[in-house]
Amino acid sequence: MNWGSKILEHKLWRSGDPLDYFETMPRSEGSPLEQIYKQMQKHDEGVCGRWRDEIQQLLIFAGLFSATVTAFIIDSYKRLQPDDTKMSAQLLSQISLQLNAIANNATPVSASTILDEAFVPTPRNVRVTIFWFSSLVLCLSTVIFGILCLQWIREFTRDISLYAADCITIRQMRYEGLLRWKVPAIVHSLPIILQTSVLLFFAGVLDFLWSVNETVAATIMAIIGLVTVGIVFTTAAPVVQTIIHFRHLMDVGNDPQAYVAPCPYRSPLSWFFLRIIVMILDPVPFKQRFPRSSWAEFDIFSYKKSMRPSCGKKAYNAKGLARTLKWIMAKLLPELNQDITRDVFHLLHDVIDRSTTGAVLLNWAELTGEARKLEFTLKDLRGSGMYQALYDLLMERLLRKASPVQENRKVLLELQVRCLNTLGDRKMADVAVGETFSEAARNCYYYLIENEDASCLDEDGLLFQSLMTIMKFYNRFYNHQRMPGVADCVGSVIAAVIRRTQIKGHNASFCYQVLNQFKPMLEGVYQRVGDFSSQNPNANLRSTVQLLHRLDLRAIKKWEMDIQHITGNRVPLVDGMISFMEKLDPGHEAEVAEVKGQLDAFYKGRPWRYECAF
């Protein structure tokens, strides 16, 4: 069949076209939101469980240790005061001396010598008293803060009876509050405080003596005062923050920007004081507008007030979800747990509405620094109203961060193709889009390694679209310094496709488009190499040779002839390639010898198959 000059041209994918390969991303059982929330709960239970175990062990030790210190104090405090027994013995001795003097008509002993001078504790007694009382106070302080930490942890892990998306965001708000208010640091400081208490006790044992006086009292009062300040602050901090935040929400109503990480120093005592202060400040209105019975209910109230407005759809907190996304990528290791990657993708693509997903991805990009890398491109897309392209670009960056594997490579490669075809010709396309090109070339190479049967051009599928796109933008974005190995990947893919595809009527149009796109790509490559007459040819020579030395000239020639026979259109490639290869000087690069081997195989009618991974 001869088609003459009429060739069906297949359109390359762009942003806004239906996503063909999103179904290739396997789904977990159940809702992606529920699966993500379960993973987050599993993480939290692991962390909080370790904290509980550590605190409970510290409490047991602190109880035993405080009893030990108390026993020493009870036995030793008598030395801090004059010894009554010793004083009685001195008095009796003095009376005896006086009676003896009277009996002998001697001068009586002066009364001033009857009693010893006022009792003054030794400096050693003072030091030991400071050491031992400080040890006891610090030990008991560990118990107090340990109990408070258990209460805070209980509030953090308290279940919320809401939709999974709401639970995820509220949990993230609580988690960030936990970090911002230094709860992990406080938990980790408890063993240090207890160890300090033990060290002080040992210091007192070494000094051995006790002493009770004003200096001791002042020192102990200072330590107790600091502990008291800590208790008052941790009790008052959530109360003050809650009142300020509540007043703000009552004044402005719903505020999507009001993402507040709540203070995690929450305890029954702080809630009790909150209710009292609320009643004192504004008894009637606050009682009507503040019908919250626990910290968890206030979290739900605050979360709902910070939702993005949504017309008839489920509302989400975009900023909270973005922070959750950042935490997931950092803590749950999606490169090792691909269930996380799948659940995140289906959450953003299938569950959440597209406008909210765009807001989530933008917030995520700002939090992770991706927005700075894509600054000019994002500004151009937002200014042009190309929100679908913005979504594709940010989703591609997100999936790439998750270390692509076979299960999600197809979706990632399709997004990269769409991004390149949409953004590649725009003036504002920057280095970041060039990075997308580099990753697309590598992903296409690994896609063929993972899918050996996919190297034939029999349909308008992922291989055709990605290969056409990579060749189209090769000369614009390829940089041999920033993209090592890319030329080798592209040459391997082209060689595999040409070698394995047998041109017939049903795929002749695909093969013609590939060859027709390959021609201007090669012409651009030749121009980049420069003048061969120079003793130091262009630095692109090495990458050009890496691109060419995998190609079989005989297979390309056969493609030319088959396409011309079926379609009536000729795309001359081999003649230009031979002309270029014959100009190469074997002294320039080691790979040039391999290119000469290609020419020799072509002239002698032998196939050329350079060793590759597929």
Residue 487: its pLDDT value, please? 85
pTM: 0.67
Task: Report the pLDDT value the prediction gives residue 226, as an integer from 0 to 100.
Answer: 83
The pLDDT assigned to 455 comes to 67
pLDDT digits (tens, 9 = 90+) for 373-386: 888 888 888 888 88
Gyration radius from the chain CA atoms = 40
What secondary structure does DSSP assign to 27-93, as a single string? --SS-HHHHHHHHHHHHHHHHHHHHHHHHHHHHHHHHHHHHHHHHHHHHHGGGGS--HHHHHHHHHH
The reported pLDDT for the residue numbered 4 is 45
Dump pLDDT digits (tens) for 545-596: 778 777 888 888 888 888 888 888 888 888 888 888 777 766 555 556 667 7
Token duo for residue 503: 């041109």
Neighbour-count burial of 125, counting CB atoms closer than 10 A to its CB (0-12 exposed, 13-18 middle, 19+ buried): buried
Which one, of 48, 198, 59, 53, lies nearest residue 134 by Cα?
198
CA-CA distance, 404 to 446, in Å (whole number)?
10
d(CA 243, CA 248): 9
Q: Tokens standing for 249?
A: 């929400």
Give me the torsion for CA of 513, 518, 519, 523, rounded to 10°.
150
Q: How far is the C-alpha of 68 from the C-alpha of 194, rounded, in Å? A: 14
Break the chain into its structural domains and give their ranges: 32-105+121-212, 444-529+539-613
Q: Which of 399, 387, 467, 478 is nearest to 437 (CA)?
A: 478
Scan for tokens 């390149």, then name that residue: 420
Locate 63 and state its tokens.
């109880």
Assess contact for 464 and 509: CB atoms under 8 A: no
Q: What pLDDT is recorded for position 577?
A: 83
Among 263, 345, 358, 354, which residue's Cα sits nearest to residue 313?
A: 354
CB 273 within 8 A of CB 239: yes
- Low-confidence residues in the chain, pLDDT < 50: 1-5, 112, 114, 210, 287, 291, 534-536, 613-614
Concatenated DSSP letters for 182-212? THHHHHHHHHHHHHHHHHHHHHHHHH-----
Residue 109 DSSP code? P
pLDDT at position 60: 93
The pLDDT of residue 537 is 52
Instruction: Give long-range contacts, CB 8 A cutoff, 24+ apart: 109-118.
Output: 115/87, 115/90, 115/91, 116/87, 116/90
- How is residue 223 annotated by DSSP? H
